[in-house]
Structure 1
Amino acid sequence: MFVQHASVKSRLNAILRATSGNFLEQFDFFLFGFYATAIGNAFFPAESETASLLNTFGVFWLGALMRPVGAIMLGAYIDRIGRRQGLIITLSIMAVGTVIIAFCPSHATIGIAAPIIVLAGRLLQGFSAGVEVGGVSVYLAEIATLGNRGFYTSFQSSSQQVAIFVAAIAGYLLNESMPVEAVASWGWRIPFFLGCLIIPLIFFLRRTLEETPEFLAMKKHPAAGEVIASALANWRTVVLGMMMAMLSTATFYFVTVYTPTFGKTVLKLSTQDALLVTLLVAVTNFIWNPIGGALSDRIGRKPVLLAIASLALMTAYPALNWLVSAPTFGKMLAVAMMFCFYFGTYSGTMLGALVEIVPAHVRTTCFSLAFALAAALFGTFTPLASTWLIERTHDKASPGFWLMFAAALSVIAALTIYRGTSKPSRAVQPLRPEPPDSALGVQAASR
């Protein structure tokens, strides 16, 4: 009994240390979305609030375009050197980007240099984030106990919700203790400074990670060029993985990064209302992710993925249309909780599924590239797309069409990947066989 308890405690500690870097990534990402208006005024002044928001969310999205680059370059590094060392490198790059944004002077102080510096910080963050999700998910999958891979990998996403919760609390306290004008002028930087202060603790946690037994058991670790070549050879798997992840990334960035701005600028609700909804979003997402992962461990990935994506396809626009017809705090909370259920259950399942469909010897690279493409093309583009759709269509519920499109692509991906079975079909297996001395092939990676 003591040995079993020690083993459980050891695995929980490993999960905490591995996911700690997600805190910094999502803490900063959420703050960027919540204070988008203030950041726009500080670094991207324009002739209108909408134009300033578009500039801000545009820079947010440009940073995401670096994700695929980071996925390939850093993913190849992790597949060659190891999970532990790679996760330390990604955290270092993310920390530099966070510090740059927190301390960058405003446009009024240094002119055009301000938006350029902020963009540089976002590019560094995007480069690092390109492999953070994949690196952590693969690490959790490789330390998972038999039959619980979905449950373990779901904590990659659940850990991000802790950052959103803390950021929302910080924002709420800030808005309660300072005048609105002061928050908009300079107070918005305070939560970013807090993020900088926790960087040393996260570094300590990451440095205590142990390498996964599965990586150590591999007899050959391919060179970076071999990893990249193999990942490109498996482009069909990457594309299907990207499509499968689109619903997860689109709903996540809608309910976390865009919802605060949507509540304040579109629905005209109070800042406190938007923050309270965000707090409940974080708590709900934290709960639904492991439930989704555990459920998929029991009944299979396919039924969960298809059920949630189909529900999102049918309800995204009608729900938002109901909300904007007569906005209230209660209606905004109800719609946000619905999207949280979709995101959490789907994401908790999708992470385990994506680990299982990629070749073992390039697992981090292929996973990261698929997820990075989904995040760049759909996830982090969601705030910009939502703002643009509302501006062009004059329909405040039009972001629902964006979410429905992501859901439709995810349905197609799930049907293709799990063609007639609950296990990945041959269509997503490597185009070239695994190296004979690879410790784990695609078939062994599947449930």
Structure 2
Amino acid sequence: MAQASGAEIPQIKSRIGAILRATSGNFLEQFDFFLFGFYASAIAKAFFPAQNETAALLNAFGVFWLGALMRPVGAIVLGSYIDRIGRRRGLIVTLGIMAIGTVVIAFCPGYETIGIAAPVIVLLGRLLQGFSAGVELGGVSVYLAEIATPGNRGFYTSFQSSSQQVAIFVAAILGYVLSEVMPAETVAAWGWRIPFFIGCLIIPFIFVLRRTLEETPDFLAMKKHPSASEVFASAVANWRIVILGMMMAVLTTTTFYFVTVYTPTFGKTVLKLSTPDALIVTLLVAVANFIWNPVGGALSDRIGRKPVLLTIACLSLVTAYPALHWLIAAPTFGKMLAVEMMFSFYFGVYSGTMLGALVEVVPAHVRTTCFSLAFALAAGLFGTFTPFASTWLIGHTGDKASPAYWLMCAAALGIIAALAIYRDGETIATRDAVPA
């Protein structure tokens, strides 16, 4: 294997630094999202009192999902801003909005203290987070794609998703430590806020990292940057590409929220496993996700996006229900780990491929807006709805393996999208993109 020359080493370090600075905001977003899912039971009791545990959980997951519905709004408003003003300045703005939402949720008093104002304030915090998240992932993916070296776009963009797994890992570690040093009653009463406070403390550090970002060469090379009205008009004109992009991204978002945000609740309330067991599984899933994402991106750089997308989507379609049925028949830590690792493999390889594919199929002049809108629709309508949908399916069917139906629908959409996007050896961007 050839070794990097002395001249190449500074360039490699510079690119690694750019990746770290760009993806730092993803850490904050997913750190808070995971904590909301893991401590859903405690949050439900603190802010959404109800007659039974299932109703309280549905209230909490409902607010979690409502925040995600702001993603498409953020994708359009903030996406047009980034396409017009620049990647660097836009990513700093999105981080500021996300930080405000995180602080609001962390410091909001409970229902017993301020009554109905508590769930209202938490909802406002989630709406701010969703508004920011609508363009955060797209903005970072576009940034990474535009600084990628030739032939490595899939590998570079995959680190957008890999960076989120670091947040899941850290959050799972904190949750595990809390469960070991605090009684369960204390964690449920107020201990769950500690990880949220820690998230607030790292915000200044992330701001420092983001401020040192450099603008991408692709954006600087554009002779004309579209106005907000031109971005909106182009996004509408390219609606078919956006919808197919959304369908392609659905499998990524649903599988991600299932193996991270919903897994701790599934392990504790459905499978009746211990809190430490559920956390350890989530921690190991985060490690596996971190590894599989760049593997998927690099593989798609070598053999193409279409075969990887279709293979993983087909595997997910035929194995989701059998795997969950096998797990719920006799739940154990080992079986839960095995099933989650299977889904982690599907998520990581598919996501690492999908991110590069989505950057390539959306029009370049409105790349951030169309990418963000497609991903935001996938996350808002499907991905972040996964915990709610899974809880509802189990409650109304009595089948603890029924969340598989949700994952199978996502896989079917992915298959349809891949076949439509990569038809006849060319992409939809080549055939159907509408110019500015």
Regarding TM over 0.5, the answer is yes
- 1:424 matched to 2:427: yes
Whether contact under 8 Å (1:237, 1:428) holds in the other structure is no
Secondary structure, in 3 states, of the residue corresponding to 1:59? helix
Deviations 1:70-120 (A, max 9, x none): 000000000000000000000000000000000000000000000000000
Deviations 1:344-396 (A, max 9, x none): 00000000000000000000000000000000111000000000000000000
Corresponding residue for residue 154 of structure 1:
158
Corresponding residue for residue 384 of structure 2:
380
Q: Give the drift of 1:426.
A: 5.7
Secondary structure, in 3 states, of the residue corresponding to 2:151? coil
Percent of pairs identical after alignment? Answer: 79
Corresponding residue for residue 342 of structure 1:
346
- 1:99 matched to 2:140: no
Corresponding residue for residue 49 of structure 1:
53
Corresponding residue for residue 199 of structure 1:
203
Counting only pairs closer than 5 Å after superposition, residues 11-410 of structure 1 correspond to structure 2 as 11-410=15-414
Deviations 1:118-170 (A, max 9, x none): 00000000000000000000000000000000000000000000000000000
Deviations 1:254-287 (A, max 9, x none): 0000000000000000000000000000000000
Deviations 1:189-238 (A, max 9, x none): 00000000000000000000000011000010011111111011000000
Whether contact under 8 Å (2:288, 2:345) holds in the other structure is yes
Which ranges in structure 1 are unaligned for 5 or more consecutive residues?
Answer: 435-447
Whether contact under 8 Å (2:241, 2:428) holds in the other structure is no
Secondary structure, in 3 states, of the residue corresponding to 1:145? coil
| Distance in 1 between residues matched to 2:380 and 2:263, nearest whole Å | 18
Deviations 1:31-71 (A, max 9, x none): 00000000000000100000000000000000000000000
| Distance in 1 between residues matched to 2:209 and 2:431, nearest whole Å | 35
Q: Give the drift of 1:428.
A: 5.8
Number of positions where the alignment pairs a residue of Structure 1 with one of Structure 2: 432
34 and 302 in structure 1: CA distance in 2 versus 1, 3 angstrom threshold: same
> Could you state the TM-score of these two structures normalised by the residue count of structure 1?
0.96
Deviations 1:281-317 (A, max 9, x none): 0000000000000000000000000000000000011
Whether contact under 8 Å (2:241, 2:429) holds in the other structure is no
Q: Give the drift of 1:2.
A: 1.8
| Distance in 2 between residues matched to 1:402 and 1:323, nearest whole Å | 17
Q: Which runs of 4+ in 1 moved over 2 A?
A: 425-429
AA aligned to 1:325 is A
Corresponding residue for residue 433 of structure 1:
435
| Distance in 1 between residues matched to 2:179 and 2:424, nearest whole Å | 53
Whether contact under 8 Å (1:153, 1:348) holds in the other structure is yes
| Distance in 2 between residues matched to 1:233 and 1:132, nearest whole Å | 23
Deviations 1:12-41 (A, max 9, x none): 000000000000000000000000000000
181 and 335 in structure 1: CA distance in 2 versus 1, 3 angstrom threshold: same
AA aligned to 1:382 is T
Corresponding residue for residue 443 of structure 1:
none
Q: Give the drift of 1:433.
A: 2.7
| Distance in 2 between residues matched to 1:123 and 1:3, nearest whole Å | 47
Whether contact under 8 Å (1:357, 1:429) holds in the other structure is no
> Could you state the TM-score of these two structures normalised by the residue count of structure 2?
0.98
Q: Give the drift of 1:427.
A: 7.3
Q: Give the drift of 1:425.
A: 3.7
